[in-house]
Amino acid sequence: MKIIENNKIQEKVYTKKMPNGLSVMVIPKKTEKKYIIWGTQYGSIDNLFQLGEKESTIPDGMAHYMEHKLFEQENGTNSLDVLTSLGVNANAYTTNNHTAYLFEASNDKFFEALDEFMNYIQNPYFTDENVEKERGIIEQEIMMYDDYPDWKIYMNAMRAMYHNNPIKIDVAGTKETIAEITKEKLQDAYHCFYRPENMAIVVCGDFEPEQIIKEIETRMTLENLDEKVKRLYPEEPEEIVKPRIEDEMNITRPLFIIGYKDTVKAENQIKKELALEMAFNILIGDSSKLYQDLYEQGLVQSQPSMIYENTNTYSHLLIQGQSEKYDEVISKIEEAIEDLKQKGIEEKEFERMKKKLYGEYVKSYNDVESIATSFLQNYFRGINPLDYFEEFGGITKEYTLQVLKEVMDKQKQIISIIKSK
C-alpha cells in the first residue's frame, strides 16, 4: 500500500494495486457518511476496439445499456432495490469515457451493502428476455433526454465541433442503435471492458485503510485475461464542423453555448485547467464587471457556467448561459475576451481570483462524494487530484493569458443556441 500525502491541506490517499490489477484508493475522513464508487474505463466513445487480432464494433449506447442491466440478478431481485432497502443511497452513471457504480451509507449497513454491491458488478446476468425488457425503458430515457434543453444544447455543440469523434454520439445511443444490442453483445463488451486492470475503486469516509482494502479484496472475484484490449478512435481534424447551430424547444428562456475546440494533449493538464478556470472567472465570474453589467441591464439573470473537458481523445471549453438577447450577450462576451487578450490581466485581480479558487478547491474536500468522484474521474485521466494544490503556485497571469489566447481561438469557436418556440 502506498500513501500519497499533501501537507498543504492535510490530506492522505492510501492506494493499492491488487494482484488482479484493480486499483483501490482510500481517503479517510472523520464523518458519518461512507462513500464508495467503482468505475470502469468504458464509456460511450468506446465503440470500436481490437481484442487480440479481432477488430469489433459495439452499437452506440452499449456502455449505458450495460449500466442498466448489471442491477438485474439471476435470483429475480434488482440490486438497486436491495441496496435501497438497506437504507443506503445507491446509483450509477455512464459518461463519454467511463461507467461508475456507487453508494453512500450513513448507517451501520455499509458492509452488508458492500456484499451486494460487489456481487452484482462482478456477476452479470443477461438473458434474451431481460435484455429485451430493458430496451423499452432505455427508449423512453432517450426520448426524455431529447426533451432536456441542457443536454440538447450540449450535444448540438459537440456535433458543431467534432467531425468524427464519437463524443458527438449520445451516451444512450439512439432507438436504432440500441435495437442491435443483444445478450451476446453485452457479454462480449463486459468481457472486454469489465476487467480489473481497467477499473478502480475509491472509498471515502471513516475507514481504516488496510481494513477496508482487505474487505474489498476478500469480495473480489474478477480476474484479468491474457488478451489485451486496444481502443480504436477515428482521426479528428483540428477544424470545427460549422460555426453555428440552432434549435428550438419549448423553453421559457433561450440557452446559448460559446464553445472552443481545443488541442487534445496538454503538457500539463492540471495547470492548463486551473488557468482556464481563472481566466473564465476574471472574464465573467460573479464579481466581474462584465457580469455585473449584463445583470444590471437585464440581459442575464444568472452567471454563465464553464465546462472544460480534456481527455486523451477530445478536449473543449464551453461557456453556457441563458438570455432572451443571446446574440447581444455572446457579442459582449466575445468583446471582453478580445479586450483581455489585448490589455492583459491586472495583477491585483489575478491574485484575488487565485486565492478565491484555491479556497473553493480546499472546501470541496469537506464532501465525501465530491472527493471520491473527483479521484475516480481523474484516475482515468492519469491525474492525482492532490496535485491541483501544487500547481496553483506555478500559475502566473502571463501563463493564464497565454492559455486563454491559445484556447479561445475565434477560428475554433462554435455557437450553439436553443431558442424558445
Which residues are tagged catalytic? Answer: 67
> From residue 387, how far is each of 208, 257, 276, 340 by CA, in Å?
24, 30, 17, 28
Name the one residue in this structure whose C-alpha cell is 462576451: 333
What is the number of alpha carbons within 13 Å of residue 336 lying toward its C-beta?
19
Measured CA to CA, the distance from residue 355 to residue 217 in angstroms comes to 41
What gap in Å lies between CA 339 and CA 350, rounded to an integer?
Answer: 16
Phi, psi of 297 (to 5 degrees): -80, 0
Q: Is residue 153 within 8 Å of residue 255, measured between CB atoms?
A: yes
Task: Give the chain's largest Cα–Cα span.
Answer: 67
125-149 exposure pattern, b = at least 16 Cβ within 10 A, e = fewer: ebeeeebeebeeebbeebeeeeeeb
Question: What 3-state class would DSSP assign to 115?
Answer: helix
As a whole number of Å, the end-to-end CA separation of the chain is: 58
The DSSP secondary-structure symbol of 239 reads S
Count of other CB atoms within 10 angstroms of residue 262: 23
Q: State how far the Cα of 164 lies from the Cα of 222, in Å rounded to an integer.
A: 34
3-state secondary structure string, 139-182?
HHHHHHHHCCHHHHHHHHHHHHHCCCCHHHCCCCCCHHHHCCCC
Measure the CA–CA gap between 37 and 20, rounded to whole angstroms: 18
**244-249 and 413-420 strand pairing:** parallel
CA distance 342 to 103: 49
